Structure 1
Amino acid sequence: MQTTPIRSRKEIEKMKSYFLEDKNYRDYALFVTGINTALRISDLLHLKWEDVYNTQTHAYKSHVRIIERKTNKQVIIALNTNCISALKLLKKNRPLQTEDEYIFSSNKNRHAPLSRNRAYHIIKNAADAVHVEGNISCHSLRKTFGYHAWKMGTPSALIMNIYNHSSIEITKRYLSICQDDRDDLFKSLNL
C-alpha cells in the first residue's frame, strides 16, 4: 500500500499532542520539522544544530541550506514559526553540548542521527496511537507538506518544483489526491 499524507489538520494536531503529552520533544520536533520543510527523512535525520542555530548570535537561522542526499542538489528552505518553536522547545529541554550535534539524535549518542528504522517506528506508532487514517510512515511527513500546500491553493508548479518532480502528473500522484478531494471541490464551488 502506498504511503499517504496526513490529510486532516485535526489528525496533525492529535499527532503533535501525542508527542507533547509524553514530553517527547525530540519526536515532536522531528514531526513538526518534517511536515513543515518537506525534507526527505534521510535529510531530516542528518540535520545538525549548526544548520538551524547560530551559537554566536544565539538565534535561529531563517533558512536551512542542505545538499540533498538523494539528488546531491542544494536546497534552501525557510524555517517557519511552528518549526522554530518546536526546535526551541527541544533545545530548551535537551540543551546543546556542541553545535555539531544531530538535532534528531539517539538518546545514547548525540553524535549519531536516529536511524531511519527508529524514525519510522516513532511516526508509525504515534499515528496508530491516535488513529490517523491511511498508510503513515516517515515519507508521510514530506507528503503532508505538499498535500496541505495544495489544499491551501499553492500552484501545482511550485509544489512540483519543491519536490523536484519532472511533471505535474507525478506530483498529483505523489500527493495522493483522491475522490474525497474532488468531491470537496465540486461541493464547495457552487457557482
Structure 2
Amino acid sequence: MKLVQPIRDQEVIDGIKAYLKLRSIRDFLLFCIGIYSGLRVSDLLSLRVWMVKGTHVRIIEKKNIHDKTFIIHPSIREVLDAYIKGMQDNDFLFPSRQVKTKARLKKQPVHRSTAYRMLNNVSREFKLKDIGCHSLRKTWGYQLYKQDPENIALLMKMFGHSEMRITLDYICMTQDMMDDAISRLK
C-alpha cells in the first residue's frame, strides 16, 4: 500500500479550494468537508443531505463503528446551503452524475475511485506527490497538530489511536520533525 501524505502548505490548500470551487461545487465541498472533519472518504461519501443541515454532523464511522460529531466549518456553510437547496433530505450529499450500470440506480454516491481521480487531478495541477483519498483526513490532522501540538490527545481520540507515536506517524509529523531537527544541526 502506498503511503499518502497530508497537504502541508495552507497556501496550497487555499489554492486547491479556489481551483475546485471554479470547476465543481460538489468536489469543492467534498474536499473541504474532508479537510475540516477528518472523516474517511468512505464516510464522506455516505453523508446524506439531512446530516449537514444543522451546525454539527453526527455520523457512525464505518471502520471503527463509533460515533463522531463534528461542526460544519463556517467558511463553507453558505456554499453548502446553496448546494443542498432543492435536494431531498435523504439524497446523498455527493451524488454521482452517472447511472450505476449493474443496478441501474440513480443518485448513488460518488464512488471512491471518482474521489481519487479528482484528488489525483488536483495533485497534478498543484505538483503534489503521494496524494490520495486518505490525504484529506491526514491534512485535517496535520493542520490541527501544527495549529496547536496540544491537540494530540484530540487527534488520538478522533483517529482511534492508542499511542501518540502512531498518530504522529499517521499525520507524517515524525518525518517533518526529523527533517527539521537534521536541518538545524550545526
* Corresponding residue pairs, total: 176
Q: 2:119 aligns with which of 123, 132, 148?
A: 123
In structure 2, give the amino acid aligned to 1:9. Answer: Q
**Partner in structure 2 of residue 63 of structure 1:** 56
Q: 1 CA distance for matches of 2:155 and 2:141? A: 6
Q: 5+ residue gaps in structure 2?
A: 100-105
Query: In the TM superposition, what are the counterparts of 1:1-191 in structure 2 within 5 Å?
Result: 1-22=2-23, 24-53=24-53, 61-91=54-84, 95-108=85-98, 111-132=107-128, 134-155=129-150, 156-181=152-177
170-179 or 134-143, which moves further after superposition? 170-179
Cα deviation code 1:22-75 (max 9, x no counterpart): 2x100000000000000011100000001011xxxxxxx111011111111111
Query: By how many angstroms is 1:178 displaced?
Result: 4.8
Q: 1 CA distance for matches of 2:58 and 2:18? A: 29
65-74 or 79-88, which moves further after superposition? 79-88
Aligned 8 A contact 2:95 2:107 in 1:
yes
Query: Where has structure 1 moved over 6 Å in runs of 4 or more?
Result: 185-188
Q: Identity of counterpart residues, as a percentage?
A: 33
Aligned 8 A contact 2:55 2:72 in 1:
yes
In structure 2, give the amino acid aligned to 1:131. Answer: K
CA gap of 1:180–1:43, structure 2 versus 1, over 3 A, is closer
Q: 1 CA distance for matches of 2:22 and 2:65? A: 37
Aligned 8 A contact 1:28 1:86 in 2:
no
Query: By how many angstroms is 1:185 displaced?
Result: 8.0
**Partner in structure 1 of residue 102 of structure 2:** none
77-86 or 97-106, which moves further after superposition? 77-86
Aligned 8 A contact 1:63 1:77 in 2:
yes
CA gap of 1:85–1:4, structure 2 versus 1, over 3 A, is farther
Q: 2 CA distance for matches of 1:86 and 1:185? A: 41
Q: TM-score under structure 1 normalisation?
A: 0.83
SS in 1 for 2:36: helix
TM-align CA RMSD? 2.2
Cα deviation code 1:85-125 (max 9, x no counterpart): 4423433xxx4341111111112356311000111101111
Aligned 8 A contact 2:59 2:69 in 1:
yes
Q: 2 CA distance for matches of 1:85 and 1:10? A: 22
In structure 1, give the amino acid aligned to 2:159. Answer: Y
**Partner in structure 2 of residue 56 of structure 1:** none
Q: 1 CA distance for matches of 2:122 and 2:36? A: 18
